[in-house]
Amino acid sequence: MFGGATATQAVGGWATATGEIVTEKITIVYSFCTSDQLHENINNVLNICETLKKEMTQEALTLEINGQVKFI
């Protein structure tokens, strides 16, 4: 969609509603684009995030755009 991407492995964690800390292996994917490319493709990006969240049976997926975090 944006001409390339980089993926790195990491460990992520969060607190559940009951206060339990959960950690798991995650993959962080970076891709850079222009403002015009983002505007043209944001709905595609959001749809991919929703699909990944469902396929991986996750409560949420984190999307960061220009330093702003959105939980999908």
Asked if residue 1 is part of any domain, the answer here is no
Tokens found for residue 15 = 């607190």
Q: How far is CA 17 from CA 1, 2, 22, 54, 70, in A?
A: 35, 36, 11, 20, 19
**Residue 6 reports pLDDT greater than 90:** yes
**Residue 59 reports pLDDT greater than 90:** no
Which pLDDT score is estimated for 60?
A: 87
Domain total in the chain: 1
Asked if residue 67 is part of any domain, the answer here is yes
Tell me which residue range forms the domain holding 37: 6-71
**Residue 34 reports pLDDT greater than 90:** yes
Which pLDDT score is estimated for 17?
A: 83
Query: Residue 29, exposed/middle/buried by CB under 10 A (0-12, 13-18, 19+)?
Result: exposed
> What residues does 10 pair with on adjacent strands?
26
Q: How much is the pTM?
A: 0.81
Which pLDDT score is estimated for 14?
A: 87
